[in-house]
Amino acid sequence: MSDRRKRPYTKDEVLHGVALIKAHLAEDMDAIAALQGLDEDERSARETARAMFALAHIIVYGAVIPQMWVVKKDFTYGNTGNVPELALALLFVERIEQRVELAHVHPVVGALSAGDVMGLIVECLGTKMEDVPAFLDAVREQTLRTMAP
């Protein structure tokens, strides 16, 4: 058994999120409708929000936090609450996760979350918009290699 903590998302949620954001980038309305569920019912709205949470979690914990200067310099503050950038990154993930509970009330929450995750990729990782699909392909490939079905 692995020493790693259990991930708070599934392989399918990550792959769903990658496909959904790629569909948004391509402005493929048919693919978006298929990925969000044809009826955009409560279940499909939650699935979309969960997929965005999975991507946000991977990006923040796997790419944003490791690039923070406090992590690179191996500084210790005793309490992560004393590092504003880290607190902001963790708050972002928490807010995306909270949207899962709101998704059934406001189906647009999934689209807003997709926009926020795209913004996270572009703004926090310094990825050009035209390079986002390649970034998502790398996330997809890593997920397929490392996560159990």
At 9-60, the pLDDT tens digits run 999 999 999 999 999 999 999 999 899 876 668 888 899 999 999 999 999 9
Among residues 98, 91, 84, 15, the alpha carbon closest in space to that of 60 is found at: 91
CB of 127 within 8 A of CB of 120?
Answer: no
Whether 85 shows a pLDDT value over 90: the answer reads no
| Token pair 């504003």: residue | 84
| Average pLDDT for the chain | 88
What pLDDT, on the 0 to 100 scale, is given for residue 23?
Answer: 95
